[in-house]
Structure 1
Amino acid sequence: MVKKHAKNILIQSAKVVFSAGIIYWLVQSGKLNFSALKNFLSPGVAALGLGLILTNLFFVSERWRILIRSQGLPAHVFPVFKLSLIGSFFNFAMPGGVGGDVIKAFYFTRDNPGSKVVAVTSVLMDRILGLFAMIIMALTVMLWDIQHIVKTPALLTLFWFILSLFIVFCVALALIFSPYLYKREILKRVILKLPLSEKFMKLYESVHLYGKDGKRFFAVIIISLIAQVGTILFLYLAGNLAGFSEVPLNTYFLVAPLGFMATAIPISPAGVGVGQAAFYFLFNIYLGEQTEIGPTIITALQVGMFLISLSGAFFYLRRGDRTKASDIEQLA
């Protein structure tokens, strides 16, 4: 167990070094200019920006809450929101190999004994459907601006990639949620042939339940899209404050979902560093020129997210059943 903990610390340290290396390269090469964010220091502007981020986090929390309630468990707005804020804090300050999703699932189980399977699968479905909503948003905007897409080879490649992801997600969700396949036990027979079949079977049976309520499923997708819109409006505000007022709003709606997909890859804490690089290249590809807008606006968003997530640290410290992250990792 000590060896495992040491390994997780080493991995986390590597992630931090990786993030710092990207940020250093962007700053030294002039691709990230922190001075462009000084306009956010105005109290009114800062309040508006933080309000948009808080709105985004609230809708993301509601998405998770709907998934929990779809499994017949009580889940009230504010308690779930507090757990989401705690999870957001640990996405930035996660020691070892523990992330925000593990933390919030762990404490939901603490608050609701006997709900471990629902806590784990709801967090998993929350991530999957959140990513699916990003794909829907990106594909919709690409189709709306298809004339520009087909003229740019890199964007056209991205379009086919996003379209392929959309099809894969639709097929996978249809197979997992299908009552016909479940009753016939077709997928179960396939799973039984896999390594760790028992765990995969439990996961399949749990995830399948989320497809039984179509209204709640579509509500989760709609809430995800609303949350994305709030974040994109923040990025648009940041871009204009940083002096990039010539960049149209529709560009943000295309670049942001693609950039967020990159930050979802767990190779840096809270996507720091990866987000700057992804947004830099995506904006350059879409605009057809070198620009600082990508790293600048995602940095503003990450700073805002960190400030809001500090409230999660407050709620965590107020809990009377705090557990060390290393212990959570062993129990989760």
Structure 2
Amino acid sequence: MIKKTKKIAAQLIKILFAAGIIYWLVQSGKLNFSALSNLLNPGIMALSAGIVLLNFFLASERWRVLVKSQGIPAKAWSSFKLTLIGQFFNFAMPGGVGGDVIKAFYFTREFPGTKVVAATSVLIDRVLGLYAMILLALIVMIYDFAHVSHVSTLMNLFYFIVALFVAFSIALSLVFSTKVYDRQILKKIIRKLPLSEKFMKIYESLHLYGNHIPRIIQVIVLSLVAQTTAILFLYMVGMVSGFSEIPAKTYFLVAPLGFMATAIPISPAGVGVGQAAFYFLFNVYTGKSTDVGPTTITAFQVSSFVVSLLGAFFYMRYKRPKDIAEAEEMA
């Protein structure tokens, strides 16, 4: 009972945190809902939904590539339905259970005895997705280095992104390395940690993905394509909302950094955090105050929520009375 109360309290804090940021942005004029009214056009709404669906499908295929690398014959349509359910729970999150947990739970229902694969596949999927965001941000900052080098805040971000890229590259190389595994270099370190048995299982499971480097590269490429669709969505919203002066390259720099911020689990689906991050990043990059950031990310989040309602439909067809409790136990 106490554990459940704590989870509910934590969820309420997340919701209040997100609501507080949105309220501040609206009151200060940094989030302009009137600009979003331009999107209430049947053609634009259909295009928005199509882009978001494509983004979700690419994310689903990215995850399915990882699952198939472990010898599990996951089908595209089945994986897509589970991804939509996960996306819905990223917004809903009843009892503090996130979308990845629900997705993994129903995956184990479809493929019994795959609990470890389900857990590690969503973990490595998140890690490689974040790695691709870092890579894309680094590529764009190098491409536009002439501008980046003249803004001290952007240079600090550049150094941070370089450090992240190097750290992720080294960590992934060590986890996937057969030589490191055979010499038990990481195992010796893990054995000295608290909860060493659990960390050892995670390490050994993640290491298996290193036997399929071409699939890892495929996942990263799919991540980059998925991010490109999300960026094109933001760019379309910006153009329709009257921010035509902002070039496309600005979106390609800001979006990966902004989406990295929304990945931090301190609000449902990054709502609130995304608005603040995109507002800051667009202002730093353009050198002027503009509400294009909060406007575009809000449109993306609203469209993502509407499309994720398909996941709610599939969830209602899947669910049993004790599903959430069992998912919490698995988590």
**Same fold? TM cut 0.5:** yes
Aligned counterpart, 1:7: 6
Aligned counterpart, 1:206: 205
Whether contact under 8 Å (1:5, 1:326) holds in the other structure is: no
Q: TM-score, normalised by structure 1?
A: 0.98
Which string of whole-angstrom CA distances, capped at 9 and with x for unpartnered residues, describes residues 213-256 of structure 1? 11101000000000000000000000011100010000000000
- Cα distance in 1 for residues equivalent to 2:96 and 2:52: 26
Whether contact under 8 Å (1:284, 1:290) holds in the other structure is: yes
Q: Tell me how many residue pairs correspond in the alignment.
A: 331
| Alpha-carbon shift at residue 183 of structure 1 (Å) | 1.0
Which string of whole-angstrom CA distances, capped at 9 and with x for unpartnered residues, describes residues 63-110 of structure 1? 000000111111100001000000000010111220000000011011
Letter in 1 for 2:247: P
- Cα distance in 2 for residues equivalent to 1:3 and 1:68: 36
| Alpha-carbon shift at residue 118 of structure 1 (Å) | 0.1
Matched, 1:118 2:117: yes
Matched, 1:261 2:260: yes
| Alpha-carbon shift at residue 282 of structure 1 (Å) | 0.3
- Please list, as runs of the form range in 1=range in 2, the aligned pairs for 1:154-193 lying within 5 A after superposition: 154-193=153-192
- Cα distance in 2 for residues equivalent to 1:70 and 1:292: 43
| Alpha-carbon shift at residue 322 of structure 1 (Å) | 5.6
Aligned counterpart, 2:136: 137
- Cα distance in 2 for residues equivalent to 1:219 and 1:330: 32
Whether contact under 8 Å (1:141, 1:254) holds in the other structure is: yes
Q: TM-score, normalised by structure 2?
A: 0.98
| Alpha-carbon shift at residue 331 of structure 1 (Å) | 3.4
- Cα distance in 2 for residues equivalent to 1:327 and 1:130: 27
- Cα distance in 1 for residues equivalent to 2:206 and 2:323: 29
Aligned counterpart, 1:104: 103
- Cα distance in 1 for residues equivalent to 2:321 and 2:32: 39
Whether contact under 8 Å (1:255, 1:279) holds in the other structure is: yes
| Alpha-carbon shift at residue 197 of structure 1 (Å) | 1.0
Aligned counterpart, 2:78: 79
- Cα distance in 2 for residues equivalent to 1:320 and 1:217: 32
Q: Any idea what SS the aligned residue of 1:88 has?
A: helix
Matched, 1:234 2:211: no
- Cα distance in 2 for residues equivalent to 1:4 and 1:328: 15
Letter in 1 for 2:267: S
- Cα distance in 2 for residues equivalent to 1:17 and 1:168: 34
- Cα distance in 2 for residues equivalent to 1:197 and 1:316: 35
Q: Which runs of 5+ in 2 are unaligned?
A: none
Whether contact under 8 Å (1:11, 1:96) holds in the other structure is: no
Percent identity over the alignment?
Answer: 63
**Stretches of 4+ aligned residues off by more than 3 angstroms:** 320-324
- Provide the alpha-carbon RMSD of the alignment: 0.9
Letter in 1 for 2:40: L
| Alpha-carbon shift at residue 324 of structure 1 (Å) | 4.3
